A and B are shown apart, each in its own frame.
Chain A
Amino acid sequence: MPQPRIGIFVCHCGLNIKRTVDTQAITEALGEYPGVAFATDYDYMCSDPGQRLIKEAITEQRLTGIVIAACSPAMHEPTFRRAAEEAGMNPYLCEMANIREQCSWVHQDREAATKKALRIVNTIIEKVRGNHPLEPVEIDHVNKCLVIGAGIAGIQAALDVAESGFAVILVEKEPTIGGHMAQLSETFPTLDCSQCILTPKMVEVSRHPNITLLTYSEVVNVSGYVGNYTVTIRKNPTYVDPDKCNLCGDCENVCPESTESEFERGLVQRKAIYIPFRQAIPSSYTLDEETCLGLRPLRCNECAKVCDPKAIDYDMLPEIIEEEVAAIIVATGYELHPISSLGEYGAGLIPDVIDGLQFERLLSASGPTGGEVRRPSDGKIPKKVVFVQCAGSRDPEHHNAYCSKICCMYTSKHALLYRHVVPDGEAVIFYIDIRAGGKGYEEFVQHAIEEERILYLRGKVSKIYREGDHVIVWGVDTLSNRLVEIEADLVVLAISIDPHPSNPILSKVLKISCDAEGFFKEAHPKLRPVESLTAGIFLAGAGEGPKDIPEAVSQGSGAAAKAVTLLVQEKLSHSPEVVDINENICSGCGICVNMCPYAALAVNGGGVAEVNEVLCEGCGTCVSACPTGAAQLKNMTTKQLNNMIEVALRDV
């Protein structure tokens, strides 16, 4: 084996490293290290001249491996490995020594930090010494994409992927697609009718040749890996054949059982056999088994009796559907924080204290009041409406610590629309501060305050209770420093946004993580906002955090672009830094098989362990568990690791 000729490149990172680490001194010392043929330092190694310096040194010095002493490999490893490759070196012979995040940034004593930096680089030199050239693992993949959730984010994502020519399976838990956007009246800041802009997209979804729509369905299992996920979907029985149903509504008229309408947020009742709203997609009735008098045994068959096209089938069973997909877009959305938890605001027991979505239904032309604002208790037109922002938001002690982001805008819109419908009505808004960041948002709020005569009071509401015909609101106006008591006819709470209740279940099924609040966690909050940490699983919409429509749509498109980027590749590649089994010494005990968190190991017919390189993430759990030492990580063997530890601790 030829003598190693290792090159060392010490980065100053401007002053980030140089301020605390004597870069010149360590460069000189590293030049003396056994096996090092070349050592230099530079202001910014990641810059173009910096990379050129590396490439030239690789060729001129005939280097066999290089160490870049700079920032975390999470930042620039791909940069430097690509540079090495361009100079004709196998990229896996390039390693980074992190002397910024793990040294200069966290220390102040220059002398001690310099010594530590030197030690860090020494360990990586030992690693590079044992490295071998590797080739990436290539993976074939299928050409389909799964989208979970068909609110506006999921719809946008599905349409974009489908338009790019790839097959999409769109799964929705509810009987119709559209999500919360379908419930809204008009949308801020332009006041266009929500259904008018949403329903064309819904129709497009239902007609698109590349989209398979599965409503009333849930993803119950996911296995496999990026490019080749196997997805199990349960399609719940609707007991109505959508191809036969002609929406005549005869079934609904005869149905004897009813429950609160989910779509109308409990403002009215719906029957056990129902369609959430007229433009629902698929355009068909659904028989809700829980509300129905009973199907097994059949207690009442009034609906089937009157159904002319014979669309009702009581024997329909849940269907289990298996699909192979390359990528998954998760767009679960949100739910409102339970009103019952807001005891100080009546806990949902006062009929004329409603949530924002209920008010949307009261404002909506397709809503239960036909767009007239009438309060739930007695149907009177309320002449004084109090809007309460941050109900359950920004309240770490009792509810959600975070800001729900959309409430400032929609409350302003609510008050404005109310004033349009009830011109002699008074609107009062309690707020903490107004967060109107967005194109045209601030102007919208200012217009509401100045032109629409809406009274904004800066302060929290402490209590809401019913007294006779009125709802009494106690609050504080912190600008005039006075306690306020208002006799209102109706109170609208801008209730905090919770992550969708299916998030914790899906996070287990998909093996992606949620943050402390229960929203899906993105791979990087700024630079990778629509990706999860699991390759091939992308995020869109309010399941990842509170969002308004434009943001949800942008994320839907963003996630779709990410999925398409993956789908268009002929083959996917996977890091070759995976485990390798030495068949000669493997005893076939199978301990590693049980330890592997990725199910990448199995004992084969020959009685030895075998690695599925595509599944292996190189975590090393099997290496530490292997009793014979047969399992070794490529480019991080036990021998390399021992050498690294030895130099790390030398003379300590």
Chain B
Amino acid sequence: MKGIAYFPGCSLKETAKDFEISAIAVMDALGIPLIELKRWNCCGTVFSLTSDDLMHHIASVRNLIRAQEMESPEVVVLCSMCFNTLKRVSLRVNRDEESLTKINAFMNKELDYAGEVEVKHLLEILRDRIGWEQVSEKVIHPLDGVSIAAYYGCTLVRPHEVGIDDTETPTVLQEMIESLGATAVSFPFQTECCGSYQIVDRRDLVINRSYRILSSAQRAGAQVLITACPLCQYNLDEAQTELAERLPDYTSIPVLYFTQAIALALGVEAGTIPDLLAESLVGQEIPKKEETTR
């Protein structure tokens, strides 16, 4: 199989289409195409912490069975929330034979899950399998002079056993940003939660949190903010719309998926990018490749 088994999740087919479009284009360009799982379903969304609540892990396990059917030892995920849920379930059932047996017994219409599929985030593939140097070499439009804030949110790095990097001081996104030629901006709120699902019934809480995140990034000099989470992206953008109305002085900042930034630098399909940003990111003058791979 050339490529890697890939679980999109619901958001990527609806509100976060740009995330998927850019990721597919980037991975094609890097030579490891994403192969979408057949018949995948919702990841399960929230990992149930109740120790005897196996029912809520079934959605995730079904997706792991889809990867197993492809004879893939791993499945790569883009949305950090889906990643978090799938990874936690895989850690739970891959290690605990009793849970695995129970779940398999319950799903009598499915193949038994063998407990061997590893869940990876796309950033792990880029960092550990491809390497930032390789990414750098494929850059044709270096994002010189652009300051990009690395916003992690929570589900990419927490809890510790699931996180793809240090829980408190992660660096993977900064490394990625630097590999594209841009300036990585670290800021104190980069691992703060945006408010997540509270957007449904405690809208103000999310707006307030988002404001602190966005303004902290801007104070640190960011021109763009990147994320790996469709919900963070939604919340931050939603907040910005409202902030623009409430605070006359507030200047919005584009919130992109990290794959869109890579796609821009690699010169591949990046999804929708605000015009002004596309201009400032890629510039009118597109530098020649020799200059960039110096």
A residues near B, CB below 8 A?
A: 342-344, 347, 398, 463, 465-467, 472
6 extra interchain contacts, Cβ-Cβ under 8 A, other than A343-B166, A467-B219? Answer: A343-B169, A344-B168, A347-B168, A398-B160, A465-B188, A466-B188
CB distance from B163 to the nearest CB of A (A): 12
CB distance from A275 to the nearest CB of B (A): 36
**Cβ contacts under 8 Å, A342 to chain B:** 168
Cβ-based interface call for B104 (8 A): no
Cβ-based interface call for B94 (8 A): no
Do B167 and A472 touch across chains, with their CB atoms under 8 A apart?
no
Do B169 and A347 touch across chains, with their CB atoms under 8 A apart?
yes
B 155-195 to A, binary, CB cutoff 8 A, 1 in contact else 0: 00000100000111100000000000000000010000000
B169 to chain A: closest residue by CB: A343
CB distance from A476 to the nearest CB of B (A): 16
A-B contacts counted at CB < 8 A amount to 16
**Cβ contacts under 8 Å, B160 to chain A:** 398
CB distance from A173 to the nearest CB of B (A): 31
What is the CA–CA distance of A347 and B166 in the complex, to the nearest angstrom? 11
Do A343 and B168 touch across chains, with their CB atoms under 8 A apart?
yes
CB pairs A–B below 8 angstroms (16 shown): A342-B168, A343-B166, A343-B167, A343-B168, A343-B169, A344-B168, A347-B168, A347-B169, A398-B160, A463-B188, A465-B188, A466-B188, A467-B188, A467-B216, A467-B219, A472-B188
**Cβ contacts under 8 Å, B169 to chain A:** 343, 347
CB distance from A318 to the nearest CB of B (A): 39
CB distance from B52 to the nearest CB of A (A): 23
What is the CA–CA distance of A347 and B216 in the complex, to the nearest angstrom? 19
Task: Identify the 5 closest CB pairs spanning chains A and B, nearest first.
Answer: A343-B168, A465-B188, A343-B169, A344-B168, A347-B169
CB distance from A475 to the nearest CB of B (A): 15
What is the CA–CA distance of A343 and B188 in the complex, to the nearest angstrom? 11
**Interface size grouping (class) on chain B:** under 10
B170 to chain A: closest residue by CB: A343
CB distance from B8 to the nearest CB of A (A): 32
B residues near A, CB below 8 A?
A: 160, 166-169, 188, 216, 219
Interface centre among B160, B166, B169, B219, by most chain A C-beta atoms within 10 angstroms, is B169
CB distance from A113 to the nearest CB of B (A): 35
A463 to chain B: closest residue by CB: B188
A466 to chain B: closest residue by CB: B188
CB distance from B193 to the nearest CB of A (A): 12
CB distance from A578 to the nearest CB of B (A): 48
**Cβ contacts under 8 Å, A398 to chain B:** 160
CB distance from A467 to the nearest CB of B (A): 7
CB distance from B227 to the nearest CB of A (A): 19
**Cβ contacts under 8 Å, B188 to chain A:** 463, 465-467, 472
**Cβ contacts under 8 Å, B166 to chain A:** 343
What is the CA–CA distance of A398 and B160 in the complex, to the nearest angstrom? 9
B166 to chain A: closest residue by CB: A343
What is the CA–CA distance of A555 and B210 in the complex, to the nearest angstrom? 55
CB distance from B158 to the nearest CB of A (A): 12
CB distance from A462 to the nearest CB of B (A): 10
CB distance from A349 to the nearest CB of B (A): 8
What is the CA–CA distance of A467 and B220 in the complex, to the nearest angstrom? 9
Interface centre among B160, B166, B168, B216, by most chain A C-beta atoms within 10 angstroms, is B168
CB distance from A231 to the nearest CB of B (A): 43
What is the CA–CA distance of A463 and B168 in the complex, to the nearest angstrom? 9
**Cβ contacts under 8 Å, A467 to chain B:** 188, 216, 219
B168 to chain A: closest residue by CB: A343
Interface centre among B166, B188, B216, by most chain A C-beta atoms within 10 angstroms, is B188
CB distance from B152 to the nearest CB of A (A): 12
B192 to chain A: closest residue by CB: A463
**Cβ contacts under 8 Å, A344 to chain B:** 168
B167 to chain A: closest residue by CB: A343
What is the CA–CA distance of A347 and B169 in the complex, to the nearest angstrom? 8
**Cβ contacts under 8 Å, B167 to chain A:** 343
CB distance from A167 to the nearest CB of B (A): 51
CB distance from B186 to the nearest CB of A (A): 10
CB distance from B200 to the nearest CB of A (A): 22
A342 to chain B: closest residue by CB: B168
CB distance from B17 to the nearest CB of A (A): 34
CB distance from A491 to the nearest CB of B (A): 14
What is the CA–CA distance of A342 and B169 in the complex, to the nearest angstrom? 9
What is the CA–CA distance of A168 and B248 in the complex, to the nearest angstrom? 77
What is the CA–CA distance of A342 and B188 in the complex, to the nearest angstrom? 14
What is the CA–CA distance of A463 and B169 in the complex, to the nearest angstrom? 11
CB distance from B189 to the nearest CB of A (A): 8
A347 to chain B: closest residue by CB: B169
What is the CA–CA distance of A465 and B167 in the complex, to the nearest angstrom? 15
CB distance from A484 to the nearest CB of B (A): 16
What is the CA–CA distance of A347 and B219 in the complex, to the nearest angstrom? 21
**Cβ contacts under 8 Å, A472 to chain B:** 188
CB distance from B196 to the nearest CB of A (A): 17
What is the CA–CA distance of A398 and B167 in the complex, to the nearest angstrom? 11
A465 to chain B: closest residue by CB: B188
What is the CA–CA distance of A342 and B167 in the complex, to the nearest angstrom? 11
CB distance from A353 to the nearest CB of B (A): 12
CB distance from B162 to the nearest CB of A (A): 14
What is the CA–CA distance of A599 and B166 in the complex, to the nearest angstrom? 47
What is the CA–CA distance of A467 and B216 in the complex, to the nearest angstrom? 9
A349 to chain B: closest residue by CB: B169
What is the CA–CA distance of A347 and B160 in the complex, to the nearest angstrom? 17
What is the CA–CA distance of A466 and B216 in the complex, to the nearest angstrom? 11
CB distance from B188 to the nearest CB of A (A): 3
**Cβ contacts under 8 Å, A347 to chain B:** 168-169
**Cβ contacts under 8 Å, B216 to chain A:** 467
**Cβ contacts under 8 Å, A465 to chain B:** 188
CB distance from A316 to the nearest CB of B (A): 43
CB distance from A168 to the nearest CB of B (A): 46
What is the CA–CA distance of A343 and B160 in the complex, to the nearest angstrom? 13
**Cβ contacts under 8 Å, A466 to chain B:** 188
CB distance from A402 to the nearest CB of B (A): 20
B159 to chain A: closest residue by CB: A397
CB distance from A386 to the nearest CB of B (A): 16
What is the CA–CA distance of A350 and B216 in the complex, to the nearest angstrom? 17
What is the CA–CA distance of A343 and B168 in the complex, to the nearest angstrom? 5
A472 to chain B: closest residue by CB: B188
A467 to chain B: closest residue by CB: B188
What is the CA–CA distance of A173 and B166 in the complex, to the nearest angstrom? 34
What is the CA–CA distance of A344 and B169 in the complex, to the nearest angstrom? 8
CB distance from B24 to the nearest CB of A (A): 34
CB distance from A626 to the nearest CB of B (A): 44
B220 to chain A: closest residue by CB: A467
What is the CA–CA distance of A414 and B103 in the complex, to the nearest angstrom? 57
What is the CA–CA distance of A398 and B158 in the complex, to the nearest angstrom? 13
**Cβ contacts under 8 Å, A343 to chain B:** 166-169
What is the CA–CA distance of A466 and B160 in the complex, to the nearest angstrom? 24
What is the CA–CA distance of A467 and B218 in the complex, to the nearest angstrom? 12
CB distance from B263 to the nearest CB of A (A): 31
CB distance from A77 to the nearest CB of B (A): 46
CB distance from A236 to the nearest CB of B (A): 36
CB distance from A355 to the nearest CB of B (A): 17
A343 to chain B: closest residue by CB: B168
CB distance from A397 to the nearest CB of B (A): 8
What is the CA–CA distance of A472 and B168 in the complex, to the nearest angstrom? 16
A398 to chain B: closest residue by CB: B160
What is the CA–CA distance of A465 and B168 in the complex, to the nearest angstrom? 11
What is the CA–CA distance of A465 and B187 in the complex, to the nearest angstrom? 9
What is the CA–CA distance of A19 and B167 in the complex, to the nearest angstrom? 55
CB distance from B255 to the nearest CB of A (A): 21
What is the CA–CA distance of A229 and B266 in the complex, to the nearest angstrom? 69
What is the CA–CA distance of A467 and B188 in the complex, to the nearest angstrom? 8
What is the CA–CA distance of A208 and B272 in the complex, to the nearest angstrom? 81
What is the CA–CA distance of A472 and B219 in the complex, to the nearest angstrom? 15
What is the CA–CA distance of A342 and B219 in the complex, to the nearest angstrom? 24
What is the CA–CA distance of A472 and B166 in the complex, to the nearest angstrom? 21
What is the CA–CA distance of A417 and B168 in the complex, to the nearest angstrom? 32
What is the CA–CA distance of A467 and B219 in the complex, to the nearest angstrom? 9
What is the CA–CA distance of A343 and B167 in the complex, to the nearest angstrom? 8
What is the CA–CA distance of A343 and B216 in the complex, to the nearest angstrom? 18
